[in-house]
Chain A
Amino acid sequence: MWPCFKEIANRLFSRKRDLIAFPQVFEQFQALLQNHQRAMEVIADLGEKSGGDYIFDRKYLFDVVHELQDLMLKIVKGLNLIASNRYYELYGVLDRIFLPMEAELRGRLVLTDAPYVIPFRDAPLDSPELTGGKASTLAEIVHKLLLPVPDGFVITSRAYHRFLEYNDLEERIHLLLEEWASGSAELSKVAGQIRYSILAGIIPQDLAREIMKYAQKTGAHWAVRSSGYGEDGELSFAGLHESVMNVPPAQVPEAYKKVLAGLYSPEALTYRLRMGMIGEETAMSVLCQEMIYSRASGVIQTVKLDESDSDCLAIYSSYGLGRTVVEGRTSLDRFVVEKHPPHTIKSQDIGRKDSLVQACPGGGEEEIPVDETMKCRASISEDTINTLARWALSLERYFKRPLEIEWAVDEAETCWILQARRLLVSDHLDRGDEDICESCSLYPILIKDKGVVIHTGVGSGRVYTVRENEDMDDFPEGAVLVSRYTAPWLAAVVPKASAIIAERGSAAGHLATIAREFRVPSLVSVDNATEILSEGMEITLDTHHRLVYSGQVTELLRYELLQSMVFEESAEFRLLRRLLKRIAPLHLIDPQSPDFTPQGCTSVHDLIRFVHEKAIQELMDVPSFLHRFRGAKVWTLASDVPIGLKIIDLGGGVAPEANGDRVSVEDIESLPLKALWTGISLREAWSTEPVAMDFKGLMASLTRNWDGAGGGVMSSGFNLAVITKNYLNLHLRLGYHFNFIDARMHDEPHNNHIYFRFVGGVTDLTRRSRRARVLAQILSSYHFNAVTKGDLVVARLMHLPKKEMELRLQVLGALIGFTRQLDIQLRSDQDIPRFVEDFFNRHAHIAQPLM
């Protein structure tokens, strides 16, 4: 579809490179901002949908991507109109970003481009079709929960298809399976034939090369395991048909075939038939993990399969490699541990462990007797039990399912997670008899029908209130994060939290993105949360009904764990997350970076950011600016602050009564300019030392630099505001400082933004950089996204309510004065906090709302 857009674009732009007049540029810029706004809303909307509070289907995803495509085309077109077609290559960028999304929307997965082998650390998290359920789950454990999993690589489902195709096996397997499913052939015969065909198959050169490249990398031996892909993201036959342990590098290709063959064992086939997965296209991946030579190993079940101790988990353990435990070769140690901190061991049965399985030096395993003195000892320490219990709970909290986790402890007593899968729970446990509505009604309700859901779910724990200066390292695992703000720095504790409740924040904020990434049930915009929920109090959040209960509602937690659908795992949510990855991340943060180019745009958000920055730069291009203003009506602002600001009103910015050439501050009706000027006019803003001169004198000396240049504003050009009722575009030069502000201030917060750029000064770069840091620190505490580069500060802020925008524009006004000679006084880095402090002291009334 894109080539035709290019044609239209061609025709529209022709070869005209003349500057178009400012009112038109401004119109284009406004339209661009509106589309920009809409695109950001669509992105925020998509993000919100990934929080689980909405029900959507594939059609919705189609519609949204197409709307976004449409908006982005308009945005790129808008920039090209403003910039006389200098950003033509952005049309190519649009193609590069949107074509793969089209492919995602059309098919399940574009396997043809996928690699045969992927290092485990780089495995994509949302493509279990490619890497299989097991590898995908483990990759999530590594990336999201930061728990130790042996390193390795995945031989993908594409490799499996390549193998079948090379050996003409696809059709053969299909026919054999059909014979069995229709009853005309016996299971054992069919399974035997398929396995024989696979073992006799030849691994094509290109695939074998790739496998060996990774297998030989470290010299380690490998545990080669199947990583099948099923509807639930796991095949639950926990057996060893599909694992080959302690494989030397050279034998990995053979082991790979063995594992593939194992997937056609009679048991595996029966299981897949029962799950209705026989007719489907199989996607078999194989995971190769570095071998852990375990001293002890075993399995954790996060829900006890008998009905006793429903608030406990069970850890099974024995010496040596895990085969002993999984195959039940010897009696085991069994520890029943409370799920509730501090994870007390409720009971333990130490089995008599007669034998263990260990790895042989040349590869393979052997079974040997256990030393007599060790036989009846506990195979793991209390510390290990505690570690395993904590890990199991954070896994269960993240995956929201009862889990069966295989673990190992090596000779250095380091714990490892080998794999995790859904624990199948029998129906009588699953369908509890209690009425969940009635059980919940026994708990007192602390908060009801308040707030905005940013990630759906149920979470319980003790309240831990985080304030700005709190040491985040103290945040206890599994606590409920309660906060007034949803500041970005809270992100560090999100993975540890069982739930989040904040007084401020929105579904579009940064914290929302993080909460979704770590699947933490979260409710924001809850009035008085920090007062209602006191420190250490045990609570349960249920976002489905926007309720906070006092106490741990165990019945509800269990119900969720056993019965509710894990929406995060559904195909639609995975597709949404894959799309979001191409849409939402912002990589182009720093406009000064060499990557800030069309080529550097890798997401829709990047492209939006790039266009916005370039459009603003076009407006900052002073010579063309002036050129564009010929014939426009220009006002001069009459004010105590003798900056001599020139104003161009494009509608509603100046009171209709105003006449002549001069306009008083009272006649300014542009909301952002009014707010900014209030800040600029603060008397205390202009003195950094006791005031020796009178105000006007001070200002005169300050502004002499450019005012003295004479010739009126149109020749100096810098002190110019283009305004409407809700908009301000300001160029302001004070001494050697250059300020640029672009701001919108509407009733509807979604339309609001402030863009602030500050650069320049008379001292050396070191001092000017210090000043930039002072500015950035002050701006950050007002929730600006501020970045510095040398003496340049770029600060952005979006979507705050009108009142808050007003405060921030006042702050900018005050800062413009405050920073005047700041660089001269910043003699060392130690001065930075002092001046930040000084600003807040000086402007207590502006700082008040932050307290």
Chain B
Amino acid sequence: MNMNRLRIMVLDDEAIVCKRLRPALEKQGYQVDTFTLSADAMEQIQHVEYDIIITDLKMKGIDGMQLLTEAKRRSPKTELIVITGFATMDTAKESFHKGVFDFIAKPFKLSEIQEAVSRAETKIRGR
């Protein structure tokens, strides 16, 4: 077993996204935690440092932008991937401005997210 697995957080208030991403990423050899409530995810990043965070933007309560700002503040090395059904140039720009690694519009193919995560991994391992 690979002991050096990357740790990934998935946050999306639509449970289906979490349910589908988890096995897909686990099969690629990552350790995955999923959250449907942004408050829980926010709580979690206070204790756990993730290598990669995949988050939706528009959610009830704390939105994705707040979460990723906080994540980056606590752990600048964490790579962030935004997935959103409201993809506009503005949100994309703002995301990249915040240091987001990749921005993927929903709906997306499994392979798209798998590739984005692989690229983030390459970047992390290359450090």
Contacts and interface: CB of A to CB of B under 8 A. Distances in A.
Are A and B genuine complex partners?
Answer: yes
Given A435-B2, A437-B29, A572 B16 contact: yes
Nearest to A563: B23
B107 A56 contact: yes
A541 to B, nearest CB: 15
Specify which of B1, B21, B23 lies most central, judged by the most chain A CB atoms within 10 Å of its CB. Answer: B23
Contacts of A60: 85, 106-107
A60 B86 CA distance: 10
B125 interface: no
Contacts of B16: 55-57, 570-572
A54 B104 CA distance: 12
Q: How many A residues touch the partner, as a band?
A: 20 to 34
B29 A54 contact: no
Given A435-B2, A437-B28, A563-B23, A54 B85 contact: no
Interface string B1-31: 1100000000010101101111110111100
B17 A55 contact: yes
Interface of B is mostly: helix
Interface in B95-125: 106-111, 113
A57 B23 contact: no
A210 to B, nearest CB: 36
A354 interface: no
Contacts of A559: 27
Contacts, number: 66
B1 A435 contact: yes
A49 B109 CA distance: 9
A60 B109 CA distance: 14
Contacts of B85: 57, 59-60, 63
Contacts of B108: 54-55
Nearest to A449: B111
A416 interface: no
A563 B32 CA distance: 14
For chain B, the bracket of interface size reads: 20 to 34
Contacts of A56: 16, 106-107
Contact of A570 (B12, B19, B27, B110): B19
Given A435-B29, A564-B23, A57 B110 contact: no
A53 B109 contact: yes
B27 A57 contact: no
A57 B19 contact: no
Given A55-B17, A570-B16, A544 B110 contact: yes
Contacts of B106: 55-57, 59-60
A433 interface: yes
A556 to B, nearest CB: 9
Interface string A26-53: 0000000000000000000000010001
Contacts of B24: 544
Given A58-B14, A544-B24, A565 B110 contact: no
Interface in A714-757: none
A46 B64 CA distance: 27
A180 interface: no
Interface string B66-82: 00000000000000000
B29 to A, nearest CB: 5
A572 B18 CA distance: 13
A13 interface: no
Interface string A568-580: 0011100000000
Contacts of A437: 2, 27-29
Contacts of B22: 565
Contacts of A572: 14, 16
A436 interface: yes
A88 interface: no
A271 interface: no
A54 B107 contact: yes
Contacts of A565: 19-20, 22-23
Nearest to B2: A435
B10 to A, nearest CB: 11
A57 B27 CA distance: 22
A567 interface: yes
A55 B27 contact: no
Nearest to B58: A59
Nearest to A63: B85
A56 B23 CA distance: 16
A59 B105 CA distance: 12
A435 B30 CA distance: 11
A735 to B, nearest CB: 54
A56 B19 CA distance: 11
A844 to B, nearest CB: 42
Interface string A360-379: 00000000000000000000
Interface string A122-147: 00000000000000000000000000
A272 B86 CA distance: 37
7 contacts: A53-B110, A55-B16, A56-B16, A435-B1, A437-B29, A565-B23, A570-B20
What are the nearest 5 A-B pairs in CB distance? A56-B107, A57-B14, A564-B23, A59-B85, A54-B107
Interface of A: 49, 53-60, 63, 433, 435-437, 456, 544, 546, 559, 563-565, 567, 570-572
Given A57-B17, A60-B107, 8 more contacts: A53-B111, A56-B106, A57-B12, A57-B16, A59-B85, A546-B111, A559-B27, A570-B16
